[in-house]
Amino acid sequence: MKAAPFAYHRPASVAEAVDTLATGDAKVLAGGQSLVPVLAMRLGRPGTLVDITALSELGRLERRGDELCLGAAVRQRRVERDPLTAAVPLIGRAMPFVGHRELRSRGTVCGSLAHADPAAELPAVAACLGAVVEVTGPHGDREVPAASFVTGAMTTAVSPDELVTGVRFPTAGPGEGFGFAEIARRHGDFALAGVAVRVRASSSGALRDATLAAFGVSDRPVVRDVTDLLADATTEAELRPATAALAAEVVDTAGDAHGSTAYRARLLGVLAARELARAHREALA
């Protein structure tokens, strides 16, 4: 279990990183928590690794207006511990489920997005909240909405010569409620099914909108506007028939020995009802 030969490059600037990626057959290394095992098992053998962790311009974690901005080199553990993260409560709810603490101390938020594992938590959180992914490449900078960032299992809208430089999450305003839950065989495992939920109420206390992102159940996070569901059902029990129907429609993963398609659909229906009810209570509290 040793990697095939590769070149290692540690650029001094984002521009240099992009130049290196342009040579082809290169892969970006950030936290390495997914990439390094892939290399060791020789499931992937890029000619060059471009290590971006030393790029200080990608190390920002800051609040700008109603956005929380994270650079591509920012580790998950730093995000988890930084007081600024409280502005995006859903990140705080989801982060304890991202691997284990040891993995989060190396793994990056943007790396998780770029890796695009169908069962990963952070792409679902980003998609649920309508985050924006910042990308740069030989043709300049561009922004990709998180909801359309993941294009399939382990594939994204980023082309091989491009680099994710950061992500911007909208901060929570008054009258917003959140829910996050997942079920895995063990704590820290990839989810068999999970949901990230946001419910927003207007200043008058009326339901404004509700969004649900499901993960672990398809080849990418599945985002649904579920405002209508909450219009006439707000408790877990009341929501269950509708969320079960939603789950049956959303779940299309082939399943495995840890969770068949049908079991994942059952779990998604249960979790969606629980978390929507919770988020609704929070939003209208």
Which parts of this chain interact with other proteins (CB under 8 A)? 1-5, 41-42, 183, 185-190, 192, 257-260, 262-263, 266-267, 270
CB of 110 to other proteins, least distance (A): 22
Instruction: Note the maximum CA span of the chain.
Output: 62
Cβ atoms of 175 and 200 closer than 8 Å: yes
Closer to other proteins by Cβ: residue 118 or 259? 259
Closer to other proteins by Cβ: residue 186 or 203? 186
Torsions phi, psi for 33 (to 5 deg)? -70, -20
Query: How wide is the angle at C-alpha 97 spanned by C-alphas 49 and 63, nearest 5°?
Result: 70
For residue 266, CA distances in Å to 53, 127, 217, 240, 270 come to 40, 22, 11, 10, 6
Cβ atoms of 128 and 197 closer than 8 Å: yes
CB of 130 to other proteins, least distance (A): 29
Pairwise CA distance, residues 30 & 74, whole Å: 9
Closer to other proteins by Cβ: residue 34 or 85? 34
Closer to other proteins by Cβ: residue 36 or 263? 263
Pairwise CA distance, residues 196 & 217, whole Å: 13
Closer to other proteins by Cβ: residue 212 or 283? 212
CB of 140 to other proteins, least distance (A): 38
Closer to other proteins by Cβ: residue 69 or 267? 267
Helix (H, G, I), strand (E, B) or coil at 175: coil
Which two structure tokens, joined as six digits, stand for 240?
């269950």
For residue 131, CA distances in Å to 95, 172, 244 come to 16, 12, 27
Pairwise CA distance, residues 72 & 135, whole Å: 10
Closer to other proteins by Cβ: residue 4 or 15? 4
